[in-house]
Each structure stands twice: as structure tokens, then as C-alpha cells.
Structure 1
Amino acid sequence: MSARSAVRAMDTRRRVALALVLAALLVFGGRLVQIQAVEGPVLAQEAQDLRTRTTTLAAPRGEILDASGEVLATSVTRYNVGVNQQLVRGFVPSDPDLAEEIGSGAAAAAALLAPVLGADPHELGARMVGESTFVYLARGLTPAEWREVSNLGIPGIEPERTSERVYPNGTTAGNVIGYVGREGHGLAGLELTMDELLTGEDGYRTVEIGKLGEVIPTGLREEVPARPGASVHSTIDRDLQNVAQEAIDSAVAEHGGQWGALIVEEIGTGRVLALADSGSVDPGNYQAWDPEDRGSRAISTPYEPGSTGKLPTFLLALEQGLIGPESSMTVPDRYTTSNGQTFRDNDDHPTLRLTATGALQMSSNTATVQLAEAMTDADRHAMFMDLGFGVRSGIELPGESSGIVHAHENWDGRTRYTTSFGQGISSTLLQNTSMAATIGNGGVYVPPRIVGGVTNPDGTYVPAEQPEGVEVASAEATEDLLAMMEYVVHPTGTGPQGAVPGYRVAAKTGTAQIPDGAGGLEGRLGSFVGVAPAEDPQLAIGVVVFQGSGPSYGGTVAGPAFAEVMGFALRDRGVPPSTEPTPELAIEVG
């Protein structure tokens, strides 16, 4: 190889080497840029995470209160206790005699902790051995119990502050309040429907920790406090709710019922003062109740109302001027309509000459069918809908049923008449109680509600919006109907058991057979709806007892509970006794 060629080859090798060096520098530089500019923040955060610990500060859940501010549901502070296994193994009791007795490390810590936590010391000690910086040892300690643990002075024993939902009144209004699940969110009742308001916003605390996970007192510390949830004020009167629950439980037990319910509604406002279901759930121990018994059948279970369903027919007849309280009616025990459908009264009787008041007092099916013949199906259907049947009221509880009122175009030749006396439709107790409240309110329907307002975390109270009333019938028609309904609780009516001493009561009884789903019948239900005082109605009450033994007539099974609760409610609210007598209306003609 010539000298020139040798020089040229060497020069080429130098250029290649230089290119390789430059390429390596570019790769290294690029990686350095990537680490510093791209991965730098991530790596810095990872390093930060290794030397810090962030703990969630659970937001206190808002309270649920009754109408007077009595607590129905609240949250109390509880502590979960954990152990830093790396720190606790260095534990040595400060008392030499104690150290000699129980030793040191996890075993000694377990020996001291076990009596306080109610745990087996050997099992507890086994859970305290390892390399983890946090392992749960116990949950749900009261503040006093945590102080007892803290006073032991064991390194590595750390608290986690949390809360527990408490229902101080047991089963009282349990079907209304509802309950929360493991995660602290509502699963039923107001706890569910108002969950978003009741749930606050969690905060957090970040602290700097050492290599063993111990908190560095002088290190980084950042805290964002939790924001509590709002408190919900229900319209429930706790004392009245107690009386209502006891009354319906007694009625169901006495008559061998499957279930029962009772509602008290304030006339003119729609405020539900008591909503009682038999065998009400205890929200603090809801797992002990069957799922179907944890809600409220008063709003979720529709049934054929039976004779309380005659009230819309009589109200419409009065509104249209077809009858007055003392209009004459011929009432046979059997009646055949123009389309060939035959209907009968509950008991055989000779043809009677009664007033409209007398027909309502004896709860005659044949008289009611005659009224329906004189009306259009469209008008009767409209009356049902205006009174709140066939639609949900919007009450602030989950699972409300709309009941069933088929379009009148779909009524067959028989159903068009059975609907006039409470068969062929279904409705909830809430709907039937609201119907009574509408009659007592001069014909103005006000949607029922069970939330009175909300207190925000800053302490400001925001009342619930008052729903607007809708005129269903005239004050004149409802005044006449109330006078007629007073005769239902007279000794010769179907519901004398619902009379309240000292007060005039306007009411209607209902008895219905229960379909078994296979074309037969499996029992009866008895119901009772009414208002008092009849001359100036303040309260409406509805009662139903489902599948009672025996005849299960509404006056017999539901009337006494109505009278007991109505009497208590009127006296408790300071409603003065009636001073004017019931209007004198003829029952029979001639």
C-alpha cells in the first residue's frame, strides 16, 4: 500500500470514529433531555411518592332530621387502626419489668393491644410481622377506644379516621330514612334519593415519611380539609311516626295480615307527617330484613282500592250536578247495565230507596254503577288522573309506583263499570291518602312530599319549593262530599270504628279481594281513608291491611288504627275539637 493510500485509509477511520462518537453523544444527549425534560417530572413525583404518604380525610355525611330537627340519621367519628410492621418490631416497653414479662417487638405490642381491641394476641401478633408500612388491625373504634390504644405509646400503631352511620331511633321511620352501604352511599330511602346532597367532598392529608414509613414531624405537610355534606330536613314528625308504626303493627298482628301501611298527610301542603310500614326496617341492621321488607309498600305496592275507589265517582257526580247529598236513588242488590253487565252489592237486600248519602254510607256497588252510567268514560278517567291515580307523585323516595289506570278506550264492557267502584284499577296507599287530602282541600290536589328543606354546610337553610296545587273539583262539590262521608263513620255506616271522640270525621272504607295471579283469589285487604276535622280538614290519613284473616272489612281491620292515629295527631297539633254538629242529611227517601 502506498503512503498516500495509507493516509487516506487512516483519515477514513478517523471520520468513522468521529461519526460514531458524535452519534453516541447525540443518543446520550437525547436520553439526557428525555430524562430531564420528559421523564424528569415523573421520576421526581415517584421519588416524592416514596417519601410521602397521602391519607383521605373522609367527609362527614349530612344528617337526616325530622320536621322539628330531631336527628333521624347522623354520622359519628370512628377510627380504623393499622400497624407499620417495620416500626413495630423495634418496640420495647418503657417499663423494664413489663419488658421482661412480655418481651419486645410485635409480640409485645400484640400483648398490650389485644385486650383493648378484643383480639387474640397470637393472631394479632402474626398480623404485625412483615415488611408492610400499613396493615389493618381493627376497624370502627370509638374515639375513647382509640385514645386507649394511643396511650399505649406503641410505635407504628397508626389511626385512620373515618365515620359510621348511626340511626338513633332504631326502626322509627326506617322505611323512610333508608340506609347506606359499605362505601357510605345510600342504598334505600332518603339516604338514596338525597345521596348527592348528603355526601360531602373528601379532603386529604399528605405527610413526609422516613425510610421505615415513620412520619417526619418537621417534614412536608399538606392538608385540604373535608367538606361536610348537607343535612336533609324531612317532613316526618318522629313522635307521630312512632304512634303510626305501633298502630299499623298492632292492626296487622291482630288481624293476621301479611303487611300493612299508614300515612298521615297535612292537608293543603302535601307534607307527609308519618309514613309507616308494618315491620319497618332498622337501618342500622338492615341485613336482618328480607330485601322486600326494607322499602315502603305504602308507595311501592299498588292494589285494587275497592270501595274507597267510589269517591272519585261520587265526586264527579256532584261536580257535574248529577246528584246532591239528598238526591233520591233506587238501590237494588243487583243491577244490570244497558250493555248487559250485572253487578251486585256485597250483601243481599231488598230494593231500597236511599239518598246519595245513604248509598255512599252503605257503600252500594249498584248505586255507584248507576252514577257511572250517567257519565262519560273520558270524564271518569280524567278524574282519576287529576286525583293522582295512574301517575307518580314525585315524592322524594325511591321505588314509587304509578299504579295502573288503563286508558278509557281500553276499558271493556265490564271494566268501564268496575272502575267506578275501585276494581279494574290499582293504586298505592299514598295515592288514596292524597285523594282524601284533595277532597279535604276544597278540590285542590297538592302533590305529597317528604322533604321540607336542606341545611347547607355553611349553615344556610333552603326550604323545599312548595308544589303548586291543581284544582280538580269545586269547593262546593267537595264540601257536599265531605258531609256525605261523615255518615260513613256513624253507627249505621261501614266505618264507625274510625270515629274520633270530640272530632267530626269524614271517611270511606274499602274492601277488596286479592287476585292470586292464576285467575283466582287469595284473600282480602281492608282500607280506610279519611280527613278531620270534617268542618275544617287539617289532616288526611290512609290505612291498609293486606291479606288479613277473617272478613277483612276496611272498617274492622283499618278503622281502629285510623282513629287512634288521627286522635293523637289532632291533639298533639293542638287542633281544637269540633263544636258544630254534622249537617243533618237524610239517608232514606220518604
Structure 2
Amino acid sequence: MRRQAALTLLLTVMMVFGGRLVYVQAVQGPDLAEQAKADRTRTSLIRAPRGDILDSDGEVLASSVERFNVGVNQRLVRNYERKDPDTGEVLGAGAAAAAEVLAPLLGRDKAELGAQLVGDSTFVYLAKGLTPEQWRAIDALRVPGIEPEETTARIYPNGATAGNLIGYVGREGHGLAGLEQSFNEALTGTDGKLTVEIGATGQVIPTGQREEVPAVAGHTVRTSIDRDLQFLAQQKIDEAVAKWGAQWGAVVVEEVGTGRVLAIADSGTVDPNNYQKWDAADRGSRAVSAPYEPGSTGKLPTFAAALEEGVVDTGTPFTVPDRLTMPNGQTFTDNDNHATARLTTTGVLAASSNTGTVQIGDKIADEVRYGYLRGFGFGQRTGIELPGETPGQLRPPDSWDSRTRYTTMFGQGMSVSLLQNTSMVATLGNGGVRMDPHIVDGLADGDGVFAPTKVGEGTRVVSEATADKVIAMMESVTADGGTGVLGRVEGYRVAAKTGTAQIADGKGGLSSRLGSYVGLAPAEDPKLAVGVVIYKPPGMSYGGVTAAPVFRDVMGFGLRQMGVPPSTTPAPDLPREAG
């Protein structure tokens, strides 16, 4: 009986253990095996190389370079022995000895470094962002447990040149401004990963499991920016801002007929390599983001609309006093006192007369003129591939008061960006067809396959005949007696318009001014449109004085850079005085 009970007990125990064994092997087995495998493997991220940003000729504006983060396996570094290279005598061992040889290469205090080497962790960061040369020097020491982690760093080889456009990346490698921000997803690519099998102390087993998913490099962004022209434009606008003591200044260069922007220069441009040294407000492009009243450069849409509607021609006569009260009781004055003159439409533009301009604009219905302003791109973003673009301000005519309906005729009571104003002039140069400005020519993937930016056919604003007439009248601005003579470019016919506008001080006053200058060359077959603004110079503010020389230098350099031949035909001799 006892034997039977013992046998029963034994069988019961065997069944329990057997069942447990079956459960462990059949049910828990796969999970346990997977856990054991996980304990024996280590997965590290393979960073995808961030794509380059290039200028129009393929010159690098932003790129990523190889860097190394260095860490320590504290369990392995304790096995280090520093030996005399000649005698083999052991001079030191463990973490203290390792710190002594590593500290000079890492630029660290050896006592502080030594403390980091002690412990049971299989990986602790010691330094980040080391160059390949620095890592090779460290690796040559053969200190066990000192391990590299490959990474990249973003560099901008041209310093501040185009820094306002390129932008910069943050610590995590994400774009924070400019094209780095706008094209962050395309530039970033797709990270890969590397999984290896490790031993009990964390060392990689050479014959163990190794699985790698390669990283996919980010796209390369090819811009329309001409690096040399960009550098020259930044230099000239910095000089002008310093000369006139202005708050800031900017330059835009657009290729006529394509919408390609070849340069956007802002004074005091940020260096993306050290962007933290600039105030946040100074890291972008005011040419794109800062609205201002265009002043007399804003007269061009009024003249274009009047010509297109057939209410004036280039020689239509006007009586132009220096002070004029319109039928609704609003009074307007010219910038300078002068005797009443008899001027043609061309003469009104050449003299930049406000009193003449309101007479011309008064011949067009407000809704019609508003349509032309919108057609030229005012009051709406251009869509350029940069963050922070302003639409400017252009209120609809049903919100204009009795004065604003006239001030919008000569560029006040509304605001634009320099990019918008330059695009307006480029539209005239393109026979009256507006092309949306863009700064990116296209993207290339990791295999070098290039996808160009899709550019629309453009929008007709005025007829080619009207555009030609406006350009012919603009040439009178740079002729003797015009307001824009300082913008002449030697060897080329130039069509331009000067502008000076008052700036509201936020207290109900107009205590500051700005000067601007926009134009085309060569006038007979425009290739480039250039716009310049000098914001809040404390003294002289006339655009024909402050901004014109910048226009001259940038336009001249751009034309020569493009290989545009000098003009060989004379400018049209349009009458400015009426009989």
C-alpha cells in the first residue's frame, strides 16, 4: 500500500515536471528564445546622410560631414594596460591609465574622465562630434571598450553667404530656418539600422549575428542662387546700410522670363555655422518677410493699368502743379516745390510726380486698378520656397477711404515685400506675363536622378505692347533730369523707378523713411530685374540716392556674370514736356 502511494506520488511529480517542461518548451520556448536573443544583440541607428544644398552651378552651400561620437564600455576598459612600447613593462592599468592617455585627445580633465570610465554600463558617451582624424588617433591607442558611433555634422562652407536663404539645423539635425526648414523632409532621408550579437561583457562577437538595413540618403536641393552674385549683393547692401546708417537693407535679383531668383541679399546676414550669435529676428530674409510701403515704385502698376485700359498714352499731356486738391477734397503734394508744369505721362513718371499720378489714376475705376495690383502679385504670397513669407497688405477698394483710394496710386496705403516689388518689375520685363518667383531649380535623389521644379506658364497681367511702353517710360527715369540717374549701368540701357516712402512710427506719426529702387536691364531685351530697399536711414532717404548705387553695382555684376552683351541701340526719345 505504501509502495503504491509512493509510486502514485512519483508519477504525479513526474507529470507536473513533464507538463512544466512541455509548457516551457512549447509555449514559453519561443518567447524565451527571443528574449535570450534580444539580450545577446545590440541595435544601433545608422544616420541617413542629410542631402546637400547647392547653388545654380553645383557649388556646395550646405553639406554634411562624417563625425564620431565616442563612448566607453565600462566593463571592458578595466582590462586596459598601458605598457612601455620598448620594454613591454606595464606602466598603468584600468580606468585611471586609460584616462591618462585619452584625456589629451578628448580635451578633458583626466580625473573627471577617469570617473566616467568606472562602472558597469556597457556604453557611456565620452565625447561627440569628433573628426575622423581625432577618432583615428583615439583608436590607435587600442583601449578596450572605447567604441565609436558614426554620425554627421552640418557645415556651411561659404559662411554668411546666402545664410539668410539656406537656414540652419538644430542639435537633432532638423531644419530650423530657410531651405533647411522648407525642405527638411526631403533633405533628411531615411535612417537605417545595424544589429550585432554581443558577448556577456558587451563586446561584439565577430562570428555572431549581424543584420544591416542601409540608410537612404536625403535628396540634394539645387537652388537658382548664383553664389558669386549673392556674395556681391550682400557686400554692397552691407556697405550701403553702413554708409547711410540704415536699420536694414535688402536686394533681390530675378531672372526675367523664368521667375528664377538669382540672389536675395539681406544686410547683416546670419552665418549658419554660428547662428546662435544672431538675434532670432535677424536670421531670416527681410526681403521676403518684411512688408513696407513701396512709395513711388508702386506707381508703375498705376501707369501700366492706365495704358492697358487706353485712358492715356505715353504722350498724354497733364497740368502738374506741386500741390493739387482732388474733386473729393483730398490734397496731395509733390516731394519738392516746383512751378506748375505741363508734362506728358512719360514726364510725370520721370519726375515721379504725385500730383500727376493721381490725375492718371483717377481715370480708372478703383475696382479695375485693384485688379491690376493683384495681377502684379501685390497682397498675396509669391509662393517662394522660404518660410515666413509675407503677403504684404492690399485692402480691397470697398475699404478704401477718400484718401487711400488716391495714395494707393502712388504706392502708399499698402505694403509689399521687396520680392513682390521686384517680381512686379520682372513681369513688365517679361512682356506683361507674371512668373511666380522660385529659388529651387529641383531635387536630386541618392542616385542622382534630378526632378526639376515645375514652373507654370505664367499669368498675363498686361499686354506686351503696354509692358513695352512702361519700360520705355522707365528709361526716362535714368535719363538726364530723371530721378534715377545714379542707377545707370555703364554699357547698358536701364529702365528703372525710384521710390521714397514714409514709415509709421506706431504713435500716429511718420517719423522715418525708406528709399527703394527697382529696374530692368538691358531695357531693350530685359534679362534681369533687381530691387533694392534701404530701410530707415536717419538722414538722406531718397531711393535715387541711397538705393540706386547698390542697384547699379549688382545689376552690372549680374549682367556681366551672365555674359549679356552691352546695348547697341539708343533709348527711345519719349517727350516729357507737353506743348
Alignment TM class, shorter chain as reference: over 0.9
The reply on whether 1:377 has 2:366 as its aligned counterpart is yes
The reply on whether 1:480 has 2:469 as its aligned counterpart is yes
Partners of 1:23 and 1:511 in 2: CA distance? 103
Correspondence for 1:495: 484
Partners of 1:405 and 1:39 in 2: CA distance? 72
Give aligned pairs, total.
574
The reply on whether 1:51 has 2:51 as its aligned counterpart is no
- What secondary structure sits across from 1:497 in the alignment? helix
Identity %: 62
Equivalent residue letter for 1:571? R
**How far did residue 468 of structure 1 move?**
2.0
Task: Name the CA shift for 1:329/1:34 in 2 (closer, same or farther; >3 Å).
Answer: farther
Correspondence for 2:255: 266
Correspondence for 1:401: 390
Equivalent residue letter for 1:269? T
Question: Which structure: larger Rg?
Answer: 1
Q: Deviations over 1:192-211 (max 9, x none)?
A: 11111111111111111111
Task: Name the CA shift for 1:30/1:240 in 2 (closer, same or farther; >3 Å).
Answer: farther
Partners of 2:281 and 2:10 in 1: CA distance? 78
Q: Deviations over 1:395-437 (max 9, x none)?
A: 0110111001011111111111111001110100000000000
Correspondence for 1:294: 283
Correspondence for 1:158: 147
**How far did residue 139 of structure 1 move?**
0.9
Correspondence for 1:15: none
Q: Equivalent residues in 2 for 1:73-84 (5 A)?
A: 73-84=62-73
The reply on whether 1:85 has 2:74 as its aligned counterpart is yes
Task: Name the CA shift for 1:23/1:548 in 2 (closer, same or farther; >3 Å).
Answer: farther
**How far did residue 299 of structure 1 move?**
0.5
Higher deviation after alignment, 93-102 or 469-478:
93-102
Correspondence for 1:326: 315
Correspondence for 1:3: none
Correspondence for 1:573: 562
**How far did residue 120 of structure 1 move?**
1.3
Partners of 2:13 and 2:368 in 1: CA distance? 92
Partners of 1:549 and 1:172 in 2: CA distance? 27
**How far did residue 21 of structure 1 move?**
12
Partners of 1:477 and 1:367 in 2: CA distance? 19
Partners of 1:26 and 1:175 in 2: CA distance? 77
Asked if the contact 2:392–2:416 (Cα under 8 Å) also holds between the matched residues in 1, the reply is yes
Partners of 1:323 and 1:550 in 2: CA distance? 37
Task: Name the CA shift for 1:49/1:325 in 2 (closer, same or farther; >3 Å).
Answer: same
Partners of 2:99 and 2:126 in 1: CA distance? 10
The reply on whether 1:221 has 2:210 as its aligned counterpart is yes
The reply on whether 1:341 has 2:330 as its aligned counterpart is yes
Asked if the contact 2:83–2:90 (Cα under 8 Å) also holds between the matched residues in 1, the reply is no
Partners of 2:192 and 2:175 in 1: CA distance? 20
- 2:452 alignment partner, one of 451, 457, 463: 463
Q: Deviations over 1:472-530 (max 9, x none)?
A: 00111111110110111123111111000110000001101110112112311100000
Asked if the contact 2:431–2:467 (Cα under 8 Å) also holds between the matched residues in 1, the reply is yes
The reply on whether 1:427 has 2:421 as its aligned counterpart is no
The reply on whether 1:413 has 2:402 as its aligned counterpart is yes
Q: Equivalent residues in 2 for 1:410-559 (5 A)?
A: 410-559=399-548
Equivalent residue letter for 2:458? G
Could you state the TM-score of these two structures normalised by the residue count of structure 1? 0.94
Partners of 1:140 and 1:553 in 2: CA distance? 50
Partners of 2:473 and 2:30 in 1: CA distance? 82
Correspondence for 2:92: 103
Partners of 1:40 and 1:335 in 2: CA distance? 97
Partners of 2:576 and 2:468 in 1: CA distance? 17
**How far did residue 324 of structure 1 move?**
1.4
Task: Name the CA shift for 1:265/1:104 in 2 (closer, same or farther; >3 Å).
Answer: same
Equivalent residue letter for 1:539? L
The reply on whether 1:314 has 2:296 as its aligned counterpart is no
Equivalent residue letter for 2:327? S
Task: Name the CA shift for 1:57/1:409 in 2 (closer, same or farther; >3 Å).
Answer: same
Partners of 1:199 and 1:454 in 2: CA distance? 13
What is the aligned-residue RMSD (CA, Å)? 2.2
Partners of 1:70 and 1:99 in 2: CA distance? 52
- What secondary structure sits across from 1:233 in the alignment? strand
Task: Name the CA shift for 1:125/1:320 in 2 (closer, same or farther; >3 Å).
Answer: same
**How far did residue 22 of structure 1 move?**
12
Q: Deviations over 1:233-263 (max 9, x none)?
A: 0000000000100011111111001111100
- 1:251 alignment partner, one of 216, 240, 247: 240
Partners of 1:30 and 1:526 in 2: CA distance? 92
Equivalent residue letter for 2:166? I
The reply on whether 1:237 has 2:226 as its aligned counterpart is yes
Q: Deviations over 1:203-222 (max 9, x none)?
A: 11111111111111111111
Task: Name the CA shift for 1:315/1:29 in 2 (closer, same or farther; >3 Å).
Answer: farther
Task: Name the CA shift for 1:529/1:40 in 2 (closer, same or farther; >3 Å).
Answer: farther
Asked if the contact 1:102–1:111 (Cα under 8 Å) also holds between the matched residues in 2, the reply is no
Q: Deviations over 1:63-116 (max 9, x none)?
A: 000001000000000000000000000111243778867410111111111111
Equivalent residue letter for 2:56? A
**How far did residue 133 of structure 1 move?**
0.5
Partners of 1:31 and 1:341 in 2: CA distance? 100
Partners of 1:101 and 1:113 in 2: CA distance? 17
Task: Name the CA shift for 1:365/1:29 in 2 (closer, same or farther; >3 Å).
Answer: farther
Asked if the contact 2:244–2:540 (Cα under 8 Å) also holds between the matched residues in 1, the reply is no
Q: Deviations over 1:533-560 (max 9, x none)?
A: 0000000000001001213110111000
Correspondence for 1:12: none
Partners of 1:190 and 1:96 in 2: CA distance? 53
Partners of 2:287 and 2:327 in 1: CA distance? 38
- 1:168 alignment partner, one of 134, 138, 157: 157
Correspondence for 2:5: none
Equivalent residue letter for 1:538? K
Residue segments in structure 2 that go unaligned for 5+ positions in a row: 1-8
Residue segments in structure 1 that go unaligned for 5+ positions in a row: 1-19
Higher deviation after alignment, 36-45 or 566-575:
36-45
Partners of 1:102 and 1:527 in 2: CA distance? 74
Asked if the contact 2:81–2:91 (Cα under 8 Å) also holds between the matched residues in 1, the reply is no
Higher deviation after alignment, 34-43 or 98-107:
34-43
**How far did residue 332 of structure 1 move?**
1.1
**How far did residue 462 of structure 1 move?**
1.3
Partners of 1:365 and 1:22 in 2: CA distance? 113
